[in-house]
Amino acid sequence: MSLSYVAAELAQNSEPVKGYGAIGYGLAAIGPGIGVGIVVGKAIEGIARQPELQGTIRTNMFLGIAFTEALALIGLVAGFIF
């Protein structure tokens, strides 16, 4: 089966393929997941180095998590829109 045959068969099928949005969002969620892991890990390192700044570091950690998760929500909404 050649590539041109597969392309011709796909061109004849005019029905849109569903499910690409879910695959795209699944791939897009990897980035924020890694980002949250980095933010939390660095916050723990900072608290371990300077325990007296625990409150400030924790506040900044939660802000970083919120901004990172906002990217995941934007990806979810974009998947539903497009």
pLDDT in tens, 2-39: 667 766 666 666 666 677 777 777 777 888 889 899 99
Is 9 within a domain?
Answer: no
Q: How far apart are CA 76 and CA 2, in angstroms?
A: 36
Query: For residue 46, which of 34, 64, 24, 33 has the smallest C-alpha distance?
Result: 64
55 band by pLDDT with thresholds 50, 70 and 90: very high
pLDDT attached to residue 69: 87
Domain CATH for 25: 1.20.20.10
Domain assignment of residue 25, given as a range: 20-81
The reply to whether 4 falls in a domain is: no
Q: Are 72 and 29 in contact (CB under 8 A)?
A: yes
Confidence class of residue 41 from pLDDT cuts 50, 70 and 90? very high
Give domain status of residue 13, yes or no: no
From the list 22, 67, 61, 70, the residue with the least C-alpha distance to 39 is 61
Both structure tokens of 66: 């919120």
50 in a structural domain: yes
**What pTM was computed for the model?**
0.66
The number of folded domains in the chain is 1
Q: pLDDT at position 76, please?
A: 77
Residue 15 resides in a domain: no
Residue 12 lies in a domain: no
